[in-house]
Chains A and B, each alone.
Chain A
Amino acid sequence: MTTATTTDDYLLRVEGITKKYGQNTVLKDVSFDIGKSEVVGLLGDNGAGKSTLVKIMSGVVPMTSGAYSWDGEKYDSVNRALTERLGVETIFQDSALVPGMSISRNIFMGREITNKLGFMKIKQMDEIATHILDTVVTIEGIKSSRQLVQSLSGGQAQAVAIARAVHFKRSLLILDEPTSALAVRATEALLAYLTQLKGEGVSSVLVTHNLHHAFQVCDRHIVMNHGRKILDVRREDTSVEELTAAVVEGAEGVRRFREGKPL
C-alpha cells in the first residue's frame, strides 16, 4: 500500500477518523489530506463508506473519533457552521438545488441579500445571479436567472450549483456522484469545470464509482473498501486497471494486481 507524500501544505487533513452507528462501524481509522488546488477522487463500491466520509468532511455528521485540521489548524468539534465558515460546499447527487425555486433564489439560498429586517433584495439578487451566469459559468439554454430550477437539465443544475460555490469563494467543493444522472456531454463539461476550478484555487473531491470519470480529472485517488482506506495514490502512479482492482476486490486486489503486473 502506497501513500502519497504528505506535506504541511494541505487544505484539509483528517486523521484516524472512525464512525460508528451503534454497533456498526462504518469508517475505521481513515486518514488523508486534501491539498490546495487539488482534485481528489474518492472511490469505492457501494457501502464502502464514501457517503459517510463526505458527510463528516462537510460537517453534517459528527465523527466518533479522529482529528480534523484545516490549513494547519486543528478543530475539536466539526459541525456544518464550522465547515460553512471554512468554505466547504457539498453538492449532493441530484439534490444540490431546490427544483421549485428560481436559479437566483437557489444561488442565494441561505445567503440571501436582505435589508435589516430580513426582507430580500430580489432585484439585486436577480442581477447578481445573471452576472454569475455570465461570468462564472456558461450554461447552454438558460434564459433568465428567474427561471425555475425544475426546468433545467441535470447538467445545467450541476453547473449552477458549481457557479454558486465559486461565487461564494468556497475553497473545497465536494461532489457526491455528480455524474450519475448526467448525459455524456454534460459530464464532459462538469469534469472540465473541475479542472478549471484548480486555476481558481478551489480544491475538489469527486466522489464517484465511475473510475473513468475520476481518472480523467483527478490528481490523486483515494479508494475506500469496507470503511477503510485501502489506496491513496497519485494519478501518475496508478492506472484505471489498478483502481478497478482496488474498488472491486479491495486491498487484496491491489496486492495481486501489483504482483501480477510486470514493471
Chain B
Amino acid sequence: MTQTSNKTQGPILAAPLETGAIANVNGAQRGGFLARIGGNLQYIRGRGALEIGIIFIALLVAFSIASLASPTTFPFLSQQNLSAVISQSVPVFGILGIAAGILMVAGEFDLSLGANVGFSAIIFIRTSEAFGWGWGILAALLTGTGIALLNGLIVVVTRIPSFIATLGMGFFWVGAAIFVNGTIAPALTEGHGTDSTLVALFAGDYGFFRSQLVWLLLIGAAAWAFLHRHRRGNHIFAVGGNQAAAKAISINPVFVKLMSFAIFGLLVGFTSILIAVQTSSVQPGTTNDFTLMAIAAAVVGGCSLNGGRGSVIGMVIGAALIEVVQDGLILAQAPGFYIQLFVGLIIVVAAIFNKLMEGKAS
C-alpha cells in the first residue's frame, strides 16, 4: 500500500517520500473475527505460552488415551491419581511457579524460595499450635512476605545481583529455621494447631479434586488479572523488560521491584500453609528443592531469564507439565532416574526455545 490510500488528513509526522520510509499500512490492521483470534494467538505466542500449552495438551491427550486403553497398568485417569497427585502436587507447584515467574518478569530471582517455604511453614505450625491456626496463617503470610521483602531491599539498596543476595539469604533462613525450631520437625496436632475446618480449607479431599486446586484457580485468576490487566502489573513488565525505558517514563523501578518481591513472598508464604496442612509436619531443611523447581516451572512456561517476558498461564502450564511428566513416569513405573533425566531435558529445551523466541516472536 502506498501514500495514496484512504486518508483525508495526513499524519502529523511523515517521513520524506523519497526515503521510502513511509507508507500507509492501515488496511491490514482491521480484520474480522478470525483476524482477531490470529492476533490473540500471536500475542500469547509472544508471551511464550502458546507452544508449551500445545505440548501440554498433547501430553494430556496421550496420557488419557493410554489410560483409557489400559486403565490398570497406566491409571492416569483414576480418581486416586487425579485427586492425590494432579490436584495436590500441581497446585502447590503451580503457585510457586507463579511466584517465581512474576519475580522473573520483574527481572529478579529469589533462590531463597525453598528456605522461605520451610521457615514460613515452621512459623505457621508453631504459631498455630500456640495460638490457633488463624494466627498461624497470618504469621506465615507475614513471614513469607517479610523474608522476600528483605531480599528485595538488599537487592535494590546494594544493587548486588539478586542471584547472589538470595542464594546467601537462602542458606541463612535454612539455618535460622533450625535455630528457631531445632532439628525436630514441628507437627500440627488435632485440637491444637489443626482442625477439620483448616484441613477442609487447605487440603480438603472432594473426590476428583482437592482444595489446593481451587486455590490454584483463584490465585491464578488473581495473578493473571494483576499481571496482565492492572497498571502495576504492566509496570512489572516495563521494569523487567527495560529498566531505563521505564525509568525515563517515570516509573519507579525500586518500588516495582519491592512490590514484586512482596507479591512473591506472599505467594510463598501461602504455599507454605498448603504444604504444612497437607503433610502436618515440616522438617527444617527439606524444602530446598522447591527453589529450582519453581524457577524451572516459570522457564518452561515461557518466562524470560532476562525479565520482561512471561505469562501467568504459562507459569501454571510449566508447573503442570513438569508434574504430569513426573506423574506419567511414576505410573509407567519408570526407574527414578528417568524422572530427573526427563525433567532436566524439558527445562533445558524450554530455555533454549525461549531464547530463540525472544529474537523471533512477533
Contact = CB atoms under 8 A, between A and B. Distances in A.
Interface of A: 58, 60, 80-81, 84, 89-92, 95-102, 105, 109-112, 114, 117-120, 122, 130, 133-148, 150-151, 155, 159, 162-163, 166, 185-186, 188-189, 192-193, 196-197, 200
A109 B16 contact: no
Nearest to A121: B229
A139 B20 CA distance: 10
Contacts of B20: 140, 185
B9 A155 contact: no
Contact of A110 (B16, B229, B249, B309): B249
B21 A148 contact: no
Contacts of B25: 139-143
B43 A102 contact: yes
Interface string B38-69: 01001100110000000000000000000000
B204 interface: no
11 contacts: A80-B250, A95-B248, A100-B46, A109-B245, A109-B251, A111-B249, A118-B232, A119-B225, A136-B12, A138-B13, A151-B361
Most buried by B among A90, A98, A134: A98
A92 B247 CA distance: 11
B241 A98 contact: yes
A91 to B, nearest CB: 8
Contacts of B19: 185, 188-189, 192
Interface of B: 7, 9, 11-16, 19-26, 28-29, 39, 42-43, 46-47, 225, 229-232, 234-235, 237-238, 241-242, 244-251, 304, 308-309, 358-359, 361-362
A189 B16 contact: yes
A196 B244 contact: no
Given A119-B225, A140-B25, A148-B46, A92 B231 contact: no
A185 B147 CA distance: 52
B238 A138 contact: no
Given A98-B308, A166-B13, 11 more contacts: A91-B248, A99-B241, A110-B238, A120-B230, A134-B26, A135-B9, A138-B13, A140-B22, A162-B13, A192-B19, A196-B12
Nearest to A79: B250
B14 A196 contact: yes
B39 A139 contact: no
A102 B45 CA distance: 12
Secondary structure call for the A interface: mixed
Contacts of A96: 245, 248
B247 to A, nearest CB: 7
Nearest to A183: B21
A105 B46 contact: no
Nearest to B245: A95
A197 B46 contact: no
B298 to A, nearest CB: 14
A147 B242 contact: no
A5 to B, nearest CB: 30
A135 B361 contact: no
A112 B251 CA distance: 11
Contacts of A91: 248
Contact of A193 (B15, B235, B308): B15
A95 B11 contact: no
Contact of B231 (A112, A143, A189, A196): A112
Contacts of A162: 13
B11 A60 contact: no
A57 to B, nearest CB: 12
A138 B250 contact: no
Q: Which 9 A-B pairs have the closest CB atoms?
A: A189-B15, A189-B21, A151-B362, A98-B241, A100-B309, A112-B231, A188-B19, A110-B249, A100-B308
Given A97-B245, A134-B26, A189-B22, A105 B15 contact: no
A166 B13 CA distance: 9
A138 B230 contact: no
Contacts of A136: 11-13
Please indicate which of the listed interface residues B9, B22, B231 has the most CB atoms of chain A within 10 Å of its own CB: B231
Interface-centre pick from B28, B244, B308 (highest chain A CB count, 10 A): B244
Contacts of A114: 230-231
A143 B250 contact: no
Nearest to B233: A120
A130 B29 contact: yes
Contacts of A150: 46, 358-359, 361-362
A120 B231 contact: yes
Contacts of A119: 225, 229-231
A91 B47 CA distance: 25
Nearest to B226: A119
Contact of B16 (A142, A148, A155, A192): A192
Contacts of A60: 247-248
Contact of B248 (A58, A145, A200): A58
Nearest to B235: A110
A198 to B, nearest CB: 11
Contact of A134 (B11, B23, B237, B359): B11
Contact of A185 (B21, B24, B231): B21
